[in-house]
Structure 1
Amino acid sequence: MRVAVLVDNYLTNLTTLRLRLLAEWGFAAYLYDYRILYDTGLSGKALLNNMQALGIGPDEPEVLVFSHRHIDHTGGLKALLNARSKPLTIIAHENLFAKAYAKDDMGEVEIGVDFTKDFLESRRAKLILVKGPYKVAEGVWASGEIPRRWGPSHTGAVADPVPDDMALYVKHPRGLVALTGCGHAGVENIVEHGLEVTGAERLYAIIGGLHLIGLPEARIREVAEYLKKRSPGLVVGTHCTGISGIAALQAALPGAARQGGAGLVLDL
């Protein structure tokens, strides 16, 4: 199973210079074996540039799963659809079009999607809105709403509890592979729900944003210790995991944690 990180806040090795990859605040990943795109980043510029650099044509993905409605995960959709000649199936939570806000040092800012249902219809996209777990392909599920009963949420500066936060789960021969866009549902909840949905007996890999940025050091250590107890083979914290979070994961899981970055290709 091959996974590529297409959009991330960071560029982490010199190959990105060779390939002229771009970074931006946001996340997107691609599952080659299933032709599933997970999120689209912020602008579309980084997404399409990096897809081209890695040899992924705009028509190659057959399904897009949105982790949640925030613009740094949905903002590349318009550029992607405009670049395609084939229809695309889009799977998202049922509140995809609900307003979303965050607060920074300058005040409140709207961070919801920048497209409409009419736009999707004009591009022949097939939109599937879900609330519970949804089987995307054989052995692959969109999580649906993730129960928050195993640990705290990671909502940070956003104005709502982000019930639409959805992971992408794959039942791998070695255990659960969980992809997460921002991890607003909380790491423990994402993993434990994934084990229930897939029937996997252990966590093999977790890849994506874990939203540790801005959290107290004690909570970051708590997450790292939880993952250490789960003994995954691979942990790749991207995007909103934050520099301190990534460092904590590498300290707690030296054999499993590794850097992310746009252009990272993983063979699992």
Structure 2
Amino acid sequence: MYMKLAILVDNYLTQLSSLRLRLLGEWGFSAYVYDWRILYDTGLSGTALLNNMKALGISPDDPDVLVISHRHIDHTGGVKALLSARSRPLTVVAHENLFAKAYAKDEMGEVEIGVDFTRDFLESRGARLVLIREPYKIAEGVWASGEIPRRWGPSHTGAVSDIVPDDMALYIRHPKGLVALTGCGHAGVENIVEYGLQVTGADRLYAIIGGLHFMGLPEARVREAAGYLKSKGPGLVVGTHCTGVAGIAALQAALPDVAKAGGAGAVFEI
């Protein structure tokens, strides 16, 4: 084992232990990388995040770094609760347009989905804010991607009102290749993977975990994206959150030996 990762927030609960541990699911995503004490995203409310952290034995004070994938509330909504529960400073790495307005359109019309906190709040709770656009090295072999170029494939922006330039992955150079964590995958799976290979210098994709935003995409595009991942020969693919039920099924059909269920409480040792 080189690294251990837990999914803390997801739309789904897939573990049999969810009942025993009283895990909570909600629309959103969060994951914790134990080895580098990195929290990636915080889910929608903070309620599921803190509940599930406690259930898995992770203290709010455990993370040294929070990486925010992008400014949407289903990835940043737990920030206030997390910082309020901590007793020590936290480095927060985010794209430089973290505080820009963001909107989406659903069945009920347009809704604002940007962050619900300010820079002043973060600093008042002991956060050290690092705003980036280019790749940012967190530790040896670990990077926040910064802005992901859209030169290898289409974006997956769905019903949101902008191209989400702040969509940032967490890249880890694993002995077996690139490990990429993605919050919503708005940059598009080809762009996330190819840029990750470039940033890390890895020669192959080993694992991709997180939201791939297959929801709302034409079936042909979902098959194309799943086929692309299959062509990279990964060892692990975990579609969560906005990958959607049909998207997760497409991944499992294309990659039956490597596509695994995510869900809050899932732990992967790779």
Specify the TM-score bucket, using the shorter chain as the normaliser: over 0.9
Once the two structures are superposed, residues 175-212 of structure 1 have per-residue CA deviations (whole angstroms, 9 ceiling, x without a partner) of: 00000000000000000000000000000000000000
SS at 1:13 equivalent: coil
Q: Which residue among 108, 111, 114 is the counterpart of 1:112? A: 114
Mapped to 2, the partners of 1:210 and 1:46 lie a distance apart of 21
User: Which position in structure 1 is the counterpart of 2:205?
Assistant: 203
Residue 14 of structure 1, CA deviation: 1.4
User: Which position in structure 2 is the counterpart of 1:22?
Assistant: 24
| TM-score relative to the length of structure 1 | 1.00
Mapped to 1, the partners of 2:123 and 2:249 lie a distance apart of 43
Paired letter, 2:103: Y
Q: Which residue among 58, 82, 91 is the counterpart of 1:80? A: 82
Q: Which residue among 41, 49, 52 is the counterpart of 1:50? A: 52
Paired letter, 2:202: A
Q: Which residue among 24, 28, 35 is the counterpart of 1:33? A: 35
Paired letter, 1:33: D
Mapped to 2, the partners of 1:155 and 1:196 lie a distance apart of 23
Residue 105 of structure 1, CA deviation: 1.3
Residue 78 of structure 1, CA deviation: 0.2
- RMSD of aligned C-alpha atoms? 0.4
SS at 1:5 equivalent: strand
Q: Which residue among 127, 142, 147 is the counterpart of 1:125? A: 127
User: Which position in structure 1 is the counterpart of 2:95?
Assistant: 93
User: Which position in structure 2 is the counterpart of 1:67?
Assistant: 69
Mapped to 1, the partners of 2:14 and 2:22 lie a distance apart of 13
User: Which position in structure 1 is the counterpart of 2:181?
Assistant: 179
Mapped to 2, the partners of 1:16 and 1:257 lie a distance apart of 21
Once the two structures are superposed, residues 119-143 of structure 1 have per-residue CA deviations (whole angstroms, 9 ceiling, x without a partner) of: 0111111000000000011110000
Q: Which residue among 246, 249, 259 is the counterpart of 1:247? A: 249
Q: How many residues align?
A: 268
Mapped to 2, the partners of 1:201 and 1:17 lie a distance apart of 41
User: Which position in structure 2 is the counterpart of 1:7?
Assistant: 9
- Unaligned ranges ≥5, structure 2: none
Paired letter, 1:41: G
Mapped to 1, the partners of 2:40 and 2:70 lie a distance apart of 10
SS at 1:6 equivalent: strand
Mapped to 2, the partners of 1:258 and 1:120 lie a distance apart of 35
SS at 1:176 equivalent: strand
Mapped to 2, the partners of 1:142 and 1:61 lie a distance apart of 15
Once the two structures are superposed, residues 9-63 of structure 1 have per-residue CA deviations (whole angstroms, 9 ceiling, x without a partner) of: 0001211111000000000000000000000000000000000000000100000
Mapped to 1, the partners of 2:218 and 2:47 lie a distance apart of 33
Residue 247 of structure 1, CA deviation: 0.2
Mapped to 1, the partners of 2:167 and 2:93 lie a distance apart of 12
Mapped to 2, the partners of 1:121 and 1:244 lie a distance apart of 41
Mapped to 2, the partners of 1:196 and 1:98 lie a distance apart of 28
User: Which position in structure 2 is the counterpart of 1:169?
Assistant: 171
User: Which position in structure 1 is the counterpart of 2:224?
Assistant: 222
SS at 2:244 equivalent: helix
Residue 252 of structure 1, CA deviation: 0.4
Mapped to 1, the partners of 2:52 and 2:127 lie a distance apart of 22
SS at 1:86 equivalent: coil
Once the two structures are superposed, residues 148-170 of structure 1 have per-residue CA deviations (whole angstroms, 9 ceiling, x without a partner) of: 00000000000000000000000
- Unaligned ranges ≥5, structure 1: none
| TM-score relative to the length of structure 2 | 0.99
